[in-house]
Structures are given as C-alpha cells and as structure tokens.
C-alpha cells in the first residue's frame, strides 16, 4: 500500500483570505485519514508548510504524497455556476481527493451549454465536478449520503447540524425547492444570504427540462 501511495499524489484546496487560513483542522484530519488508510502513521503538521500572502483571496493548493508536501497559492476567482447537466456513471470513484481527476474531467467536457455537471451514481445524486451539493425541502437542507468525495465543508456543516444526510434520487429532485453547492472555497450560508449559491438546476438528459 505504501508503494501505491508513493505513486499517487493527493490534494487539499484551502481557502486563504488576507493571510488567514480557513478551517485548517478539517484539512489536517482528511490528510491524516488518507495517510492512515495506506498504513502511514507519521504525519506532518500542514500549518508548517503554509505561508500565505497577507492580502487577497487565494486558493492554497497543497499536494502531498507519502514523503512530500508541496504548496502553491493561486488568486481565486469564483465561477458563475447556474446550470447543471446530469451525468450518469455507476463506476466512478473519487473517494480520495487526488490530483487524478481524469474521469471527472472527461464528464465535465461533455457539459454542453451548462455551467457544470451533476454526477449520478447508482441512481443517486452525488457531487458536481468541483463541489458537494445540498437541496432544500420543508425547512431542511439535505446533502447526499453517498457523495463522490466527503468534503471538508460538508463535514463541518454536518457536525454543526446545519445539514442532514439523505439518499437523493434523480426522480425525487422535483420535491426540492433550492439547490446549493459548497466546497472549501465556496462556503455555504444556510441563511440564504448568499443567493448566488442557490443555483438553478437545469436537467437535460433522461429527464424533461425542469428549473428550480
């Protein structure tokens, strides 16, 4: 297993604003969980590798393997995402946040006129190409119980009781009135103040067109 890890590189993307590193403890936990899965018990403190710029909104891209941690900073510019194309793939696996995103990138290339994709696995909604999702119904935000990737923001919102897990079937999407996307860079305000996150769901394949 260690040999497998040596041949693989994993990724954390971390929000940094004006020198402040957001929610680093959640990234540290996931980093340690990945290494522990592959039998590696000696871990590093990620904070020791992050020396962020003092001004501006940056994506900290932290790539790590068994014996190395590499960090770079990139000015963050939010994508405008308001429509999604449903993509069906029962074999896709992205349980570790790896730099290998070939399957996701291939699907993303087929998004057509939509801004992003919404991946369906075994008839259940999972994630977009870059984010976890949640859907609103009867005063509660629900997030897929089986996402492609258990994101750090998703973990935090679940711990805070601001999300509930559920199996969300494609055919049941009409029951929800709002959709939101979130990741470490796109935080999720459940109060609805960040209306830009309440994106319209535009379903093209296998279902008639429907807008939320």
Between the ranges 2-16, 26-40, 178-192, where is the mean pLDDT highest?
Answer: 26-40
Q: Are residues 106 and 145 in the same domain?
A: yes
- The whole domain housing 17 covers 2-75
Q: Are residues 68 and 90 in the same domain?
A: no
Q: Are residues 65 and 132 in the same domain?
A: no
Q: Are residues 111 and 188 in the same domain?
A: yes
Q: Are residues 107 and 178 in the same domain?
A: yes
191 assigned to some structural domain? yes
Q: Are residues 137 and 165 in the same domain?
A: yes
168 assigned to some structural domain? yes
What confidence category does residue 7 fall into, taking pLDDT thresholds of 50, 70 and 90? Answer: low
Confidence at residue 210, expressed as pLDDT on a 0 to 100 scale: 33
CATH number for the domain spanning 126: value is: 3.20.10.10
Q: Are residues 169 and 90 in the same domain?
A: yes
Q: How far is CA 122 from CA 42, 65, 87, 184, 197, in A?
A: 37, 31, 11, 26, 26
Percent of the chain beyond pLDDT 90?
69
Q: Are residues 27 and 91 in the same domain?
A: no
Confidence at residue 66, expressed as pLDDT on a 0 to 100 scale: 87
Q: Per-residue pLDDT tens for 23-80? A: 999 999 999 999 999 999 999 999 999 999 999 999 999 999 988 999 999 999 988 8
Q: Are residues 125 and 160 in the same domain?
A: yes
Q: Are residues 191 and 148 in the same domain?
A: yes
Domain boundary among 31, 58, 75: 75
Question: Per mean pLDDT, which range of 23-27, 50-54, 105-109, 191-195 is the poorest?
Answer: 191-195
Q: Per-residue pLDDT tens for 111-139? A: 988 888 999 999 999 999 999 999 999 99
Domain boundary among 42, 75, 108: 75
What is the pTM for the complete model shown?
A: 0.86
Q: Are residues 6 and 39 in the same domain?
A: yes
Confidence at residue 79, expressed as pLDDT on a 0 to 100 scale: 84
Confidence at residue 48, expressed as pLDDT on a 0 to 100 scale: 97
Decide which of 115 and 143 is more confident: 143
Number of domains observed in the structure of the chain? 2
């Amino acid at each position: 297993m260690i040999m497998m890890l040596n041949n693989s590189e994993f990724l954390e993307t971390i929000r940094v604003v004006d020198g402040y590193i957001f929610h680093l403890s959640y990234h540290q936990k996931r980093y340690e969980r990945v290494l522990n899965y592959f039998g590696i018990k000696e871990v590093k403190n990620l904070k020791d590798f992050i020396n962020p710029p003092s001004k501006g909104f940056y994506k900290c891209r932290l790539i790590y393997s068994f014996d190395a941690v590499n960090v770079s900073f990139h000015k963050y510019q939010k994508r405008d995402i308001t429509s999604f194309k449903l993509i069906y793939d029962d074999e896709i696996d992205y349980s570790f946040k790896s730099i290998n995103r070939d399957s996701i990138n291939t699907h993303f290339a087929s998004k057509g006129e939509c801004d992003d994709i919404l991946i369906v696995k075994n008839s259940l909604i999972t994630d977009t190409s870059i984010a976890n999702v949640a859907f609103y119904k009867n005063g509660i935000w629900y997030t897929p119980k089986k996402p492609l990737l258990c994101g750090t923001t998703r973990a935090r919102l679940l711990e805070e009781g601001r999300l509930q897990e559920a199996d969300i079937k494609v055919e049941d999407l009409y029951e929800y009135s709002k959709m939101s996307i979130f990741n470490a860079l796109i935080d999720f305000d459940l109060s609805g103040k960040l209306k830009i996150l309440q994106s319209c769901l535009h379903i093209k394949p296998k279902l008639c067109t429907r807008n939320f």
